[in-house]
Amino acid sequence: MTLTATSSNLIPADLQSAKIDSHRPLLIVDVDEVLALFMAGFQRFVERHGFEMRLTKFALFQNIYAKGEDNHIDMLVGKTLFDDFFMSGGKDMDPAPGAADALANLSNQAGIVILTNAPEHGRDERARWLKRHGMDYPLVINSGLKGPAAANLAARTQKASAFIDDLLPNLSSVAADAPQVKTFQMVADPRLRPLAPSDPDNHTRIDDWTLLHPALEQHFT
Ligand SMILES: [Mg+2]
């Protein structure tokens, strides 16, 4: 990630170049399992490479097996598949139902920034995927917990902000670093929904864009 030095800290270039209108609400939204059916796409990709996925945990590599094996693949094999998927696997991945329409609609009311933890080498593939599926909004590539990036973005508007992610650590991180941001948890893959840790007292859980859309509209009104 390119870093730009300022007097007090280092701000990633993506954050600096994201234009935020201080007079509009702001939606900060994750990609994998929110806008994109990541696990289903990754499953197709690993199966084309001779592996199989048995979805029993809210985890990644621990669900992937060499065909017929009892033990899941090791981290190194998993990391290679993961890196290759982000480099070239976009065609295997479908958008979450209703996501593009909801964002298009919400963009009349709020600014939209996509905040993803895709690896930097997957930037072009990710940008192409978003464009192909009608979600061509400012893209911020993050690494690690999302609280600092969300706080940076949300501090630039006087209006309401919201953040959507599937992962509880990211939601907790945003709640801690930017408590004015309303947090929503969404898990797009129905198979992962019962496996995903959640904290509904602190982060509103809505797994369907047809329901999440009106909740966001209401929050921004
Ligand atoms: Mg995600």
Q: What is the average pLDDT score of the chain? A: 94
Range from 33-37, 93-97, 117-121 carrying the lowest mean pLDDT: 117-121
Is 5 a residue whose pLDDT tops 70?
A: no
The residues that bridge with 204 in the sheet, in sequence order, are 184
> What spacing in Å lies between the alpha carbon of 165 and ligand 1's midpoint?
6
By the 8 A CB rule, do 116 and 81 touch?
no
Task: Count Cβ neighbours within 10 Å for each residue of 17-44 and write b for 16 or more, e otherwise.
Answer: ebebeeebbbbbbbbbbbbbbbbbbbbb
> What spacing in Å lies between the alpha carbon of 35 and ligand 1's midpoint?
9
Q: If you compute the radius of gyration of the chain from its CA atoms, what whole number of angstroms results? A: 17
- What are the sequence ranges of the domains in the chain? 10-37+94-220, 39-92
Give the per-residue pLDDT at 11: 75
Give the per-residue pLDDT at 156: 97
* Architecture category of domain 10-37+94-220 in CATH: 3-Layer(aba) Sandwich (3.40)
In the structure, what pLDDT confidence band is assigned to residue 9 with cuts at 50, 70 and 90? low
> What spacing in Å lies between the alpha carbon of 7 and ligand 1's midpoint?
32
Taking residues 28-57, what's their average pLDDT? 95
Check residue 17 and report its DSSP letter: H
pLDDT tens column, 173-216: 999 999 999 999 999 999 999 999 999 999 999 999 999 999 99
Is 79 a residue whose pLDDT tops 90?
A: yes
In the structure, how many helices (H) and strands (E) does the chain have?
8, 10
**Please, which contacts does 100-107 make with residues 24 or more away whose CB atoms are closer than 8 Å?**
100/35, 100/133, 100/134, 100/135, 101/209, 102/209, 102/210, 102/212, 102/213, 102/216, 103/27, 103/29, 103/35, 103/135, 103/137, 104/134, 105/213, 105/217, 106/27, 106/213, 106/216, 106/217, 106/220, 107/137
> What spacing in Å lies between the alpha carbon of 120 and ligand 1's midpoint?
15
Q: Is residue 78 classed as helix, strand or coil in its secondary structure? A: helix
> What spacing in Å lies between the alpha carbon of 36 and ligand 1's midpoint?
8
> What spacing in Å lies between the alpha carbon of 199 and ligand 1's midpoint?
16
Give the per-residue pLDDT at 89: 87
> What spacing in Å lies between the alpha carbon of 31 and ligand 1's midpoint?
6
Structural tokens at position 138 = 């400012």
Of the CA atoms within 13 Å of residue 149, those in its CB half-sphere come to: 27
Rounded Cα–Cα distance for residues 42 and 1 (Å) = 24
Residue 17 to residues 12, 26, 113, 126, 152, Cα–Cα distance (Å): 9, 15, 11, 18, 12
Taking residues 58-63, what's their average pLDDT? 90
> What spacing in Å lies between the alpha carbon of 12 and ligand 1's midpoint?
20
SS3 content of the chain, % helix, strand, coil (to 5): 40, 20, 40
> What spacing in Å lies between the alpha carbon of 56 and ligand 1's midpoint?
18
> What spacing in Å lies between the alpha carbon of 29 and ligand 1's midpoint?
9
pTM: predicted TM-score of the whole model, two decimal places: 0.93
Q: Are strands 111-116 and 26-29 parallel, antiparallel or unpaired?
A: parallel
> What spacing in Å lies between the alpha carbon of 52 and ligand 1's midpoint?
21
Q: Is residue 205 classed as helix, strand or coil in its secondary structure? A: strand
C-alpha torsion sign, points 58, 59, 62, 68: positive
pLDDT tens column, 124-170: 999 999 999 999 999 999 999 999 999 999 999 999 999 999 999 99
> What spacing in Å lies between the alpha carbon of 151 and ligand 1's midpoint?
18
> What spacing in Å lies between the alpha carbon of 32 and ligand 1's midpoint?
4
> What spacing in Å lies between the alpha carbon of 187 and ligand 1's midpoint?
8
